[in-house]
A and B are shown apart, each in its own frame.
Chain A
Amino acid sequence: MMPRLALCTLMLVSVGLAFPSRADKVLGDITIPRKGGESPNVTPEAVFPHWKHRLYFKCTACHEGLFQMKAGADNITMDALRNGKYCAVCHNGKTAFQVGFEYCDVCHVAPNGRSGK
């Protein structure tokens, strides 16, 4: 019993360490408002962390070929992502994690920093 308890605790702690920065608000985080009028209690709004992408790409990698330099200028929808547009150009499972039901809460982060699932 004790090894199982210790394993569960270890797993929870490691999961907590793996996703620490979602509660932090960093300059450049862009909240993409929901367009379908859904309640944010169902799935919270998606947050785009600029700083994580600046580690690997200069501005010119995405701007303005992929995204306009104005928040809300692009009509980013999940349907568009499933068709391989916008974020899904890289988030395709090869360059970066794939857009899909396994990774909802990576982008759809609740305002309190907790998972929205």
Chain B
Amino acid sequence: MHGKRFLKPGVILALLFTLALGSGCAVETRHKILAAVFEHVPPAGQQNAEPAPYVGHPRRQPPYKPPPAAVVRLKAYKPAFKFDWRGILLKLPKDAAGGVDWVAALEDDKIEPKAGLDPSSQDLYPVMPLDVQLDPKGLPMFDATFPHKPHTEWLACDSCHPKIFKMKAGADPITMAKIFAGEYCGRCHGKVAFEPTTGCARCHLALAGPQ
């Protein structure tokens, strides 16, 4: 009885000693020892293999997402105008009819127009302060005054003389009908300068009333 009781722990100790010995052995030897003792021992060399990651299968396909559209990038657009044209137009002085009063704009130094395309160009012709009276006979209210000064500020002598006006006061038969038809003063007035239909008092100074 006594011997058997001693044998049981001895067998267990021997087994543990064999296992401890086998764990320090080479891979093949350890596998043989482990395979002799345990079941389902993985083959040699696969003990430390990583388990394959779990891949879940979704029940539904994810919603369709269209591929991103190609972005069209245009060439950098150089703005033609850095000017606020409407603001400039509103700031210019106006005449009684609402049009731009260019003479006042020039006198008030609102604009500094150049006489030539070259920025350094100077005026070729002097400003001539000569008023020409064009008085119709028997109609003193319609005495017309032509001021050379505002015209020579913008124009040169040969702009008008002698093609449009002879260089002699009263030499041209100027009538309002011809001006409205686009002759004489009407070559510019009504086209780029103030309209003859609304600017009566700017030539017929008596119509402006007492100043």
Nearest-neighbour CB distance to chain B for A7, whole angstroms, equals: 15
Chain B residue contacts of A26, Cβ below 8 A: 89, 100
Partner of A63, one of B78, B159, B195: B159
Interface presence of A59 (CB below 8 A)? yes
Nearest-neighbour CB distance to chain B for A59, whole angstroms, equals: 5
A27 x B86 contact (CB < 8 A): no
A61 x B117 contact (CB < 8 A): yes
Most buried by B among A55, A66, A89, A97: A55
Comparing A35-43, A46-54, A73-81, the segment that makes contact with chain B is A46-54
Task: Tell me the interface secondary structure of chain B in the complex.
Answer: loop
B115 x A52 contact (CB < 8 A): no
Chain B residue contacts of A51, Cβ below 8 A: 89, 100
Tally B residues with Cβ within 8 Å of A.
35
Chain B residue contacts of A69, Cβ below 8 A: 159, 187-188
Would you give the 0/1 interface string for A82-109, flagging 1 where the beta carbon is closer than 8 Å to chain B? 0000000110000101000011001000
B187 x A54 contact (CB < 8 A): no
Interface presence of A4 (CB below 8 A)? no
Partner of A89, one of B113, B117, B187, B188: B117
Please list the 3 inter-chain residue pairs (A to B) with the smallest Cβ-Cβ separation, ordered nearest first.
A28-B192, A20-B86, A21-B85
Chain B residue contacts of A57, Cβ below 8 A: 113-117
Interface residues on A, range: 20 to 34
B113 x A103 contact (CB < 8 A): no
Question: Apart from A55-B88, A64-B159, A90-B117, what are 17 other A-B pairs with CB-CB below 8 Å?
Answer: A18-B79, A18-B81, A27-B195, A54-B113, A57-B114, A58-B123, A60-B124, A60-B159, A61-B114, A61-B116, A61-B117, A61-B121, A69-B159, A69-B188, A71-B191, A95-B117, A102-B77
Instruction: Enumerate B164-210 residues with CB–CB distance to A below 8 Å.
Output: 187-188, 191-192, 194-195
Chain B residue contacts of A55, Cβ below 8 A: 88, 111, 113
B89 x A19 contact (CB < 8 A): no
Chain B residue with Cβ nearest A29: B192
Interface presence of A62 (CB below 8 A)? yes
12 contacts between A and B (CB under 8 A): A19-B85, A21-B86, A24-B86, A27-B99, A27-B191, A27-B195, A28-B192, A50-B192, A57-B116, A69-B188, A97-B80, A106-B80
Complex Cα distance, B114 from A95, in Å, reads 14
Complex Cα distance, B99 from A7, in Å, reads 37
Complex Cα distance, B117 from A18, in Å, reads 25
Interface presence of B102 (CB below 8 A)? yes
Complex Cα distance, B115 from A57, in Å, reads 6
Complex Cα distance, B85 from A103, in Å, reads 16
Chain A residue contacts of B115, Cβ below 8 A: 57-58, 60-61
Complex Cα distance, B121 from A102, in Å, reads 30
